[in-house]
Amino acid sequence: MADDREIAEVFQRESGRAVATLVRRFGDIDVAEEAVQEAFVEAIRRWPSRGIPPSPAGWIITTAKNRAIDRLRRESQRDNKQSEAMHLGEHDEREEIEIVEDDQLRLIFTCCHPALAVSAQVALTMKLIAGLGTDEIARAFLVPESTMAQRLVRAKRKIKAANIPYRIPGDAELPNRLKPVLAVIYLVYNEGHVATTGDHLIRHDVSSEAIRLARLLADLMPDEPEVIGLLALMLLTEARRPARTGRDGELVRLPDQDRGLWDRALIAEGQGLVRACLRRNQPGPYQIQAAIAAVHADGRSPEETDWAQIVALYDQLLQFVPTPIVELNRAIAVAERGDVAKALASVEKLGLDGYHLYHATRGDLLERLGRDAEAADAYASAVELTNNQAERRHLRHREARLR
Amino acid sequence: MSQYLMSVYYDEADETPSDEVMQEMYADVEALNKKMRDSGVWVFAGGLHTPDTATVVRSQDGEILTTDGPFPEAKEQIGGFWVIEAENLDAALDWASQATIACRGPVEVRPFQDEPEA
């Protein structure tokens, strides 16, 4: 016996793999998606009375493949596409499609191809790899469903028209091609972690999807230290989630968090991955950020945190990512190490006037130096620049205390 | 296999390169053309005269109108192009990477609508 919830779970778990397998077999994303969808409709019809088959994935893939062949046969007869009909005829209906783990990896690289806009990369990855519905992705990124649907259609059309291949890049291309894949997963995670707009500070479901994607990628590419680094970074960030919001959904900053709420299992897993990365000695930006998160997780309180180590890690990170945002975070660590005036001086050099965390950080440093009026003005500027209601409340509260 | 148009763009506001640079560029492009022919991807290629030599013809209300000028009023114009036949976009982008170095300008890669006849 199987109920809808169980079938939904199988869909969530297996649809990505099924779509990837069918894309390899038929070379067409739309055909693959539609066939997998039809197979699940069939499952909803049959499984409640007959039970979930011993290999649900195999059943879905075989059923989907037969549906796709039926459809292509019908279309080729209608359009009189002789060659395609003959090609399909070469295969036995009962042929089993082999599940190749690499299929999903191939499709990830297609979804995150640099020829596609980042917004399209994200949407395709959520849809085809994570198996989310267009409505869910639209909700996660706060765009109307029709906008998201159009984005997906356009992206799939480009893949087809420009003949973007389904292949794992060779060793020489890999470093460059892996970058957008990792960036997409991290972007999805952050979108869930701090919703850029809206009332809830954390949209947990999107974050857990990103972690699932990172775990999948780590399984598929266990020898890529940056993949492991990204997974570790997300696990260590996720570990702090229970402590990140207060009772009224307001943001709780790292130094004020109740560390007893941190998820020790996630921390242990993340720190284990960081150690494994360090042993390889092929540092990269995600590994270094994970190492920073690991040092935070070690500190039983902000005071007991090894800030000198964190500043050193930020120096290393700056070599890979020389951006004002990293400088800003380094300055925060410098302040925590005890050099508040020095931190303020380096923050004020950054000129990140349009970025709310620049003003929030500046306000915090000014407040610590006893320059309350200037601090309050900085918090006010930060409020103007963020749309997240929980963050706004937090900043307004800090401003009000100083007025 | 797919066919791609690789257009080389340049900015009209840019200074014309020196003769020496031009000669180097011609040599690099010729070397790339040869490489493309040897690999079987080369279909057609050509460099164009400047846009002020262009003429636009259009049919309007049953009449043919002929006017001076390049059609797009943009400062970026096409300086030349290749048509190549490549296995997929990755292969085309690899050729485009070599083309942008040889031409010293950005290269736009665009797929042709129809697959070449088998």
Q: Is the dihedral of CA A21, A24, A29, A35 positive or negative?
A: negative
Residue ranges per structural domain of chain A: 4-89, 101-164+172-221, 222-305, 330-403
The answer to whether position B91 is within a domain reads yes
More confident residue, B91 or A50: B91
Q: What length does chain A have?
A: 403
**CATH at B100:** 3.30.70.1060
The answer to whether position B50 is within a domain reads yes
Opening angle at CA B116, ends B110 and B118, nearest 5:
150
Q: Confidence band (pLDDT; 50, 70, 90) for A81?
A: low
Regarding beta strands A387-388 and A197-198, do their DSSP bridges make them parallel or antiparallel, or are they unpaired?
parallel
Does residue B117 have a pLDDT over 60? no
Answer yes or no: do B88 and A161 touch at CB < 8 A. no
Answer yes or no: do B89 and A167 touch at CB < 8 A. no
The answer to whether position B30 is within a domain reads yes
More confident residue, A31 or A96: A31
The residue-averaged pLDDT of A251-273 equals: 92
User: Three-state SS for B89?
Assistant: helix
User: Helix axis angle, A356-368 relative to A340-348, nearest 10°?
Assistant: 150
The answer to whether position B117 is within a domain reads no
Closest CB to B111: pick one of A163, A165, A169.
A163
The residue-averaged pLDDT of A288-313 equals: 94
**Which structural domain, as residue segments, surrounds residue B78?**
2-111
- Smallest CA-to-CA distance from B46 within B33, B27, B31 is with B33
The residue-averaged pLDDT of A158-165 equals: 95
Residue A24, pLDDT score? 92
Could you give the CA distance from residue A121 to residue A115 in angstroms, rounded to a whole number? 9
Does residue A97 have a pLDDT over 70? no
More confident residue, A377 or A137: A377
Q: At B31, list the tokens.
A: 């070397």
Number of domains in chain B: 1
- Smallest CA-to-CA distance from A182 within A133, A280, A112 is with A112
Does residue B82 have a pLDDT over 90? yes
Q: Of A29-38, A126-135, A339-348, B20-29, where does mean pLDDT reach its minimum?
A: A126-135
Q: At B21, list the tokens.
A: 């640079």
Answer yes or no: do A163 and B93 touch at CB < 8 A. no
Q: For residue B48, how many other CB atoms are within 10 A of its CB?
A: 14
Residue with tokens 């951006």: A323
pLDDT tens-digit map of B31-77: 999 999 999 999 999 999 999 999 999 999 999 999 998 998 888 99
pLDDT, mean over chain A = 88
In contact, B33 and B83? CB cutoff 8 Å: no
Answer yes or no: do A164 and B93 touch at CB < 8 A. no
Chain B residues with at least one Cβ partner in A under 8 Å? 2, 4, 87-90, 93, 109-111, 113
- Smallest CA-to-CA distance from A81 within A92, A67, A71 is with A71
What is the value of pTM for the model shown? 0.82
Which residues lie closer than 8 Å to A78 by C-beta, 6 or more apart? none
The residue-averaged pLDDT of A325-348 equals: 95
Chain B's closest residue to A83, CA to CA, is: B118
Cβ contacts below 8 Å, chain A against chain B, sum to 26
Answer yes or no: do A164 and B89 touch at CB < 8 A. yes
Q: For residue B90, how many other CB atoms are within 10 A of its CB?
A: 19
Q: What length does chain B have?
A: 118
What's A330-403's CATH class? mainly alpha
pLDDT tens-digit map of A172-228: 888 889 999 999 999 888 876 655 444 444 455 778 888 988 998 998 899 999 999
CA distance to partner chain A, nearest, from residue B91 (Å): 9
Could you give the CA distance from residue A153 to residue A163 in angstroms, rounded to a whole number? 15
User: Helix axis angle, B19-39 relative to B89-103, nearest 10°?
Assistant: 160
- What's the farthest any 2 CA atoms get from each other in chain B? 49
The answer to whether position B97 is within a domain reads yes
Residue B118, pLDDT score? 54
Q: Is the dihedral of CA A243, A246, A251, A257 positive or negative?
A: negative
| Amino acid letter for position A159 | I
Q: Confidence band (pLDDT; 50, 70, 90) for A399?
A: very high
Could you give the CA distance from residue A127 to residue A32 in angstroms, rounded to a whole number? 12
Residue A201, pLDDT score? 43
Give me the CATH topology for the region A4-89: Rna Polymerase Sigma Factor; Chain: A (1.10.1740)
Give B-chain residues touching A113 at CB under 8 angstroms. Answer: 89
Answer yes or no: do A164 and B111 touch at CB < 8 A. no
Query: How far from the centroid of its chain's Cα atoms is residue B103's Cα?
Result: 10
Could you give the CA distance from residue A389 to residue A249 in angstroms, rounded to a whole number? 9
Q: ipTM beyond 0.85?
A: yes
At residue A125, what are phi and psi to the nearest 5 degrees? -65, -45
In contact, A178 and A224? CB cutoff 8 Å: yes
Could you give the CA distance from residue B10 to residue A396 in angstroms, rounded to a whole number? 50
- Dihedral angle computed from the Cα positions of residues A95, A99, A105 and A110, in that order, rounded to the nearest 10 degrees: 20
In contact, A224 and A200? CB cutoff 8 Å: no
Opening angle at CA A22, ends A18 and A26, nearest 5:
175
The answer to whether position B8 is within a domain reads yes
CA distance to partner chain B, nearest, from residue A104 (Å): 18
Q: What would you report as the CA-atom Rg of chain A, rounded to the nearest whole angstrom?
A: 24
Chain A's closest residue to B110, CA to CA, is: A162
Answer yes or no: do A167 and B87 touch at CB < 8 A. no
The answer to whether position B11 is within a domain reads yes
Chain A's closest residue to B88, CA to CA, is: A163
Give A-chain residues touching B87 at CB under 8 angstroms. Answer: 165
Chain B's closest residue to A116, CA to CA, is: B89
Residue B106, pLDDT score? 96
Distances (CA, A) of A209 to A10, A107, A184, A204: 15, 17, 12, 9
CA distance to partner chain A, nearest, from residue B109 (Å): 9
Give A-chain residues touching B111 at CB under 8 angstroms. Answer: 161-163
Answer yes or no: do A113 and B2 touch at CB < 8 A. no
Answer yes or no: do B87 and A115 touch at CB < 8 A. no
Does residue A158 have a pLDDT over 90? yes
Q: At A398, list the tokens.
A: 């800090």
Could you give the CA distance from residue B100 to residue B90 in angstroms, rounded to a whole number? 15
- Smallest CA-to-CA distance from A255 within A361, A387, A375, A373 is with A361
> Buried b / exposed e across A61-92, counting CB within 10 Å, b at 16+?
bbbbbbbbbeebeeebeeeeeeeeeeebeeee
